[in-house]
Amino acid sequence: MKTAIRKQMTINPVVMDLLNSQIALEMKASASYLAMASWCDQRELVNSKSFFYKQAEEEREHAMKIFTFINDNGGAAISPSVENVNNDFESLRAIYETSLDQEINVTESIFNIFKTARKEDDFVTEVFLQWFISEQSEEEDTMRSIIDVFDLMEGMPLKMIDERLPKE
Ligand code: FEO
């Protein structure tokens, strides 16, 4: 029987388009973190540089999770082009503030896909996205606590602040 051999498309097409956009967003976040890692690396900010190299890898993993999920569920994952990556930052604090904004934007996008999946009765995607919701909550918390360190250590030398920041 044809249907027994060929995998049925379980993913909803509207949801699939949103997930493909999410892949692009995660890859853009990865490229952005890589630019931040480079800025920190050039200034020997050792904790921040390893933090952002790690973040860049993690965002790529997020994109790949979604990529394989789409294909595993009978859809068509699209490899995105990543453009307009900013490599120019005014300060380390500005980098972390931009990171928080980026994460808030990703969270909102995940919520939107989650709501759409629910509306479209795409239960498989809804369950899949639960992991991303927890992950976003953790990532936003991490960025907020780092920005708190800047508030507490205002006026201290940059390398001293960097030593208090997480490496991953
Ligand atoms: Fe995968 Fe932090 O967004």
Contact, 56 vs 30, CB < 8 A?
yes
Task: Tally Cβ neighbours within 10 Å of residue 99.
Answer: 23
55 belongs to an annotated ligand binding site: no
Q: Which residues line ligand 1 (CB under 6 A)?
A: 26, 29, 59, 62, 103, 106, 139
pLDDT tens-digit readout, 32-41:
999 999 999 9
- Mean local confidence (pLDDT), 111-136: 97
26 belongs to an annotated ligand binding site: yes
Q: Cα 157 vs. chain centroid, distance in angstroms?
A: 30
Closest-CA residue, ligand 1 atom 1, reads 59
**Which superfamily is assigned to 13-163 in CATH?**
Ferritin, core subunit, four-helix bundle (1.20.1260.10)
pLDDT at 7 over 90: no
Confidence of residue 62 (pLDDT cuts 50, 70, 90): very high
pLDDT tens-digit readout, 71-84:
999 999 999 999 99
pLDDT at 2 over 70: no
Nearest to 103 by CA among 143, 60, 56: 143
- Mean local confidence (pLDDT), 82-106: 97
pLDDT tens-digit readout, 145-156:
999 999 999 989
Closest-CA residue, ligand 1 atom 2, reads 103
Phi, psi dihedral angles at 89 (to 5 degrees): -125, 145
58 belongs to an annotated ligand binding site: no
Confidence of residue 96 (pLDDT cuts 50, 70, 90): very high
Q: What is the pTM of this model?
A: 0.93
